A and B are shown apart, each in its own frame.
Chain A
Amino acid sequence: MQLLELKDIYKTYFLGDIDVPVLKGVSFTIEKGELVALMGASGSGKSTLMNILGCLDHPTSGQYLLDGHDISHLSADGRALLRNSRIGFVFQNFNLLPRTSALDNVMMPLSYSTEHLSDHQARQRSEEMLNRLGLADRMNHEPSQLSGGQQQRVAIARSLINNPSILLADEPTGNLDSHTSEEILHLFQQLNKEQGLTIILVTHDAAIAHHAKRIIRISDGLIEGEIKTDEKIIPDAGGVK
Chain B
Amino acid sequence: MRIYRTMSIALRALRRNPMRATLTTLGIIIGIAAVIAMMEIGNGASAAIQKSIVSMGSNMVMIQPGTAASGGVSFGAGSVMTLTPQDCEDILQQCHAVQYAAPIVQARTQVIYGNKNWVPFYIVGSTPAYLNIRNWTELAEGDVFTDKDVRNANKVCLVGNTLARELFEGVSPIGKEIRIKNVSFKVIGVLTVKGANMMGMDQDDIVIAPWTSIKYRVSGTSLGNVNQSSAASTSSTTVNSLSNLYPSSSLSLYPTQSTTQAADTPQPIRFANVDSILTSTAATENIPLAIKQVTAVLRERHHIHPEEPDDFSIRDMTEMVKTFTTATSLMTNLLLCVALISLVVGGVGIMNIMLVSVTERTREIGLRMSVGARGRDILRQFLVEAIVLCLIGGALGILLGHGGALLVKYFKHWPVETSLTAIIAAVLVSVSIGLIFGFYPAWKASRLDPIEALRYE
Binding site for B on A (CB under 8 A): 51, 54, 56-57, 76-77, 80-85, 89, 91, 95, 97-100, 104, 108-109, 111-113, 116, 119, 158-159, 162
Cβ of B370 and Cβ of A89 under 8 Å apart?
yes
Cross-chain pairs A/B with CB under 8 angstroms, 25 sampled: A56-B370, A57-B451, A77-B374, A77-B375, A80-B373, A80-B374, A80-B375, A83-B369, A84-B372, A84-B373, A85-B372, A89-B371, A97-B367, A100-B12, A104-B12, A111-B5, A111-B9, A112-B371, A112-B373, A112-B377, A116-B2, A119-B5, A158-B371, A159-B371, A162-B371
Classify the secondary structure of A's interface with B.
Answer: helix
Smallest CB gap from B8: residue in A: A119
Residues of B within 8 A of A108 (CB): 368, 371
- What 6 A-B pairs have minimum CB-CB distances, sorted nearest first? A84-B372, A109-B371, A80-B374, A112-B372, A83-B372, A112-B373
A56, B1: Cβ atoms closer than 8 Å? no
Q: Which residue of A lies closest to B376 (CB)?
A: A77
**When the two chains form their complex, are residues A97 and B364 in contact, meaning their CB atoms are under 8 A apart?**
yes
Assess the B371–A56 pair: CB atoms within 8 A.
Answer: no
B450 within 8 Å of A by Cβ?
Answer: yes
Q: When chains A and B are docked, how far (Å) is the Cα of A98 from the Cα of B369?
A: 17
Residues of A within 8 A of B367 (CB): 95, 97
Q: Does B134 contact A (CB under 8 A)?
A: no
Task: Tell me the bound Cα distance from A125 to B176 in angstroms.
Answer: 94
CB distance from B383 to the nearest CB of A (A): 16
Question: How far, in angstroms, from A116 to B9 measured CA to CA in the complex?
Answer: 16
Contacting A at CB under 8 A, from B1-20, are: 1-2, 5, 9, 12, 16
Which residues of chain B are near A81, meaning CB under 8 Å? Answer: 372, 374
Q: How far is the CA of A113 from the CA of B371 in the complex (A)?
A: 9
- Contact partners of A113 in chain B: CB under 8 A: 372
Query: Chain B: residues with CB nearer than 8 A to chain A?
Result: 1-2, 5, 9, 12, 16, 363-364, 366-377, 450-451, 454
B15 to A, closest residue via Cβ = A99
**A159: chain B residues within 8 A (beta carbon):** 371
Q: Note all chain A residues with C-beta closer than 8 A to B369.
A: 56, 80, 83
- In whole angstroms, how far apart are the Cα atoms of A81 and B2 in the complex? 16
Q: Which residues of B contact A100 (CB under 8 A)?
A: 12, 16
A112 touches B1 (CB 8 A): yes
A54 with B12: CB separation less than 8 A: no
**Set of chain A residues within 8 Å of B1, measured between Cβ atoms:** 111-112
Distance of A159 Cα from B372 Cα, bound (Å): 11
Question: A162 and B374 in contact (CB under 8 A), knowing A56-B450, A91-B454, A111-B9?
Answer: no
Q: Smallest Cβ distance from B361 to chain A, in angstroms?
A: 9
Does B451 lie within 8 Å of A112, measured CB to CB? no
CA separation between A219 and B374, bound complex, in Å? 33
The answer to whether A80 and B454 touch across the interface, beta carbons within 8 angstroms, is no
Question: How far is B140's CA from A43's CA once the two chains are assembled, in angstroms?
Answer: 100
Known: A56-B450, A111-B5. A83 touches B16 (CB 8 A): no
Given A56-B450, A57-B451, A95-B367, A76–B375 Cβ distance below 8 Å?
A: yes
- CB of B372 within 8 A of CB of A76, answer no
| B69 CB → nearest A CB, Å | 84
Question: How distant is B370 from chain A, measured CB to nearest CB, in Å?
Answer: 5
Distance in angstroms from A157 CB to nearest chain B CB is: 12
**Whole-angstrom CA separation of A84 from B370 in the bound complex:** 8
Could you tell me the distance between the alpha carbons of A162 and B374 in the complex, rounded to whole angstroms? 16
Across the interface, which residues of B come within 8 angstroms of A119, CB to CB?
5
